Amino acid sequence: MNTAAIAINGKPPCLWMAGGNHKPKRRTYRVGARQKLNVANVYGVLILAGIVGWLTGSWTVCLIAGGVLLISALYEGGIRPTGRGR
């Protein structure tokens, strides 16, 4: 009989052999709306720069387009590196 496949009270062997209901702890991080919007804007910059670089076939153009788009997003406020005062 294969004891590795036996479940006691619906628990897999790794739990009942370890002697408890131990669940691995997950670290959760709260991510605010500003961080989510910043990430979305950076992804947009990367996608657009990648498309421009792919269409031109040049890594240099891709990097320049990425830099220009990133600076313009920072300047116009789409990417906010710090919180605004309340």
Q: How many CB atoms lie within 10 A of CB 47?
A: 11
Assess if residue 29 is contained within a domain: yes
> 24: helix, coil or strand?
coil
Domain that holds residue 20: 3-76
Instruction: Name the phi and psi angles at 8, rounded to 5.
Output: -105, 125
Sign of the Cα pseudo-torsion (54, 58, 61, 67, in order): positive
In tens, the pLDDT along 5-59 reads 565 666 666 655 555 556 667 888 888 899 999 999 999 999 999 999 999 999 9
Pull the structure tokens for residue 62: 């891709």
32 φ/ψ sector (left φ>0, alpha ψ -120 to 50, else beta): beta
Output the pTM of the full model.
0.62
Domain count, the chain: 1
Specify if 86 maps to a domain: no
Q: Is 49 contained in some domain?
A: yes
- Specify the pLDDT at position 30: 86
